[in-house]
Amino acid sequence: LESAMDELSYALKIDPLQLRLINYAEVDPVSGKPFSSKALRECYRLGAEKFGWKNRNPEPRSMRDGKLLVGWGMASSVWGAMQMPASAKVTYRADGTASVASATSDIGPGTYTVMTMIAAEFLGLRMDQVKFELGDTRQPQAPAQGGSWTTSSVGSAVRGAALTITAKLLDLANREAASPLSGIAAENVEMLDGRLRSKSDPSRAVDIAEAMRRTGTNEITEVFNSTPSPEREKYASLAHGAQFVEVKVDPDLGTMRVTRVIEITACGKILNPLASHSQEIGGVVWGIGMALEEATEVDHRTGRFMTANLQHYHVPVNADIHAIETIFVEEDDTIVNPLGVKGMGELGMVGIPAAIANAVYHATGKRIRDLPITPEKLL
């Protein structure tokens, strides 16, 4: 679709970015529902500015670096901001430590870290005071890892369990007649550094360990089941992004390099900036592999896969990867889930192959319609 948009822009003699802005959807074209949030326009603006898109000569084969053909291409990306039913168990102890468990998994996106961060945030603890466990079917049920829904689903369950514990601690504190938190609703208190305090007046606080000791409570355990809110049904919830790519192609050899990528992503609230940027860089690398290198070759006489190992199935290596910059446009989305997060795993990748193919067309004047784009297809 994003390559077709690029092809249409050349047929109409309209800048590819301008064509997307002319056709920008303010409501979901399929359902007619409003978006829960959509910062794609800001992604376009910021990406074009950072990349220097206004300096692009629209004519194919018009930009060069010495003998190399230079191509600039762009694309959009979209991914569903999904949430699945999920459960988590949180145990808070009087010594100020907590354990958290859910039968989710961590295949590399940093689930261990972000769930620990969410629990620590809502329990008012340091990360080293929280132990998160996953990967065991005896733990509370969680969805398979995929679809970019783990943080929104399991994270919402961890948050829910932590807030339920906060409410139970408030109840313990208010068993004391002279409690400074008397009359305050559970949603108006928070835990921080071993104290339960009023959000609006932090001087109104109780020592959590003391309140638990007085009531003979060593620990509080809560299992919370999180499900998508019915409010979501009224909206289209999606994560968006824009990719700007530079390629350099050797016209004699047909070899090419992706020399520069600017990726702008709008996927709600960013809980872990360091890991999130790393994940988006990984998405770009994944997209470069799809666009230029990765192919499953089958011997149709025998039905055998000929590229069944990493000797023959080519994936990007360090020498293939040059400048990649990832930027987030944060959205305040209170509808998508209680944490306001949207998935970013797949979103960081889906626009990249199209942006590369579009850049290759700009560099060479050749429209490649099947991946990977290899030298023999260009020569």
Q: Which residues are catalytic?
A: 346
DSSP assignment string, 274-329:
HHHHHHHHHHHHHHHHHHHT----EETTTTEES--STTTS----GGG--EEEEEE-
**DSSP H stretches of helix in 13-149:** 16-22, 40-51, 111-123
Alpha carbon distance 34, 341 (integer Å): 18
Q: Looking up tokens 């690398």, which residue turns up?
A: 285
Nearest one of 292, 285, 271, 312 to 360, comparing CA atoms: 292
Nearest one of 102, 98, 222, 105 to 164, comparing CA atoms: 222
Nearest one of 269, 234, 22, 299 to 152, comparing CA atoms: 269
| Residue 208: C-alpha distances to residues 126, 147, 337 (Å) | 15, 39, 29
Helix (H, G, I), strand (E, B) or coil at 17: helix
Strands 130-133 and 98-101 come out as: parallel
DSSP 105: -
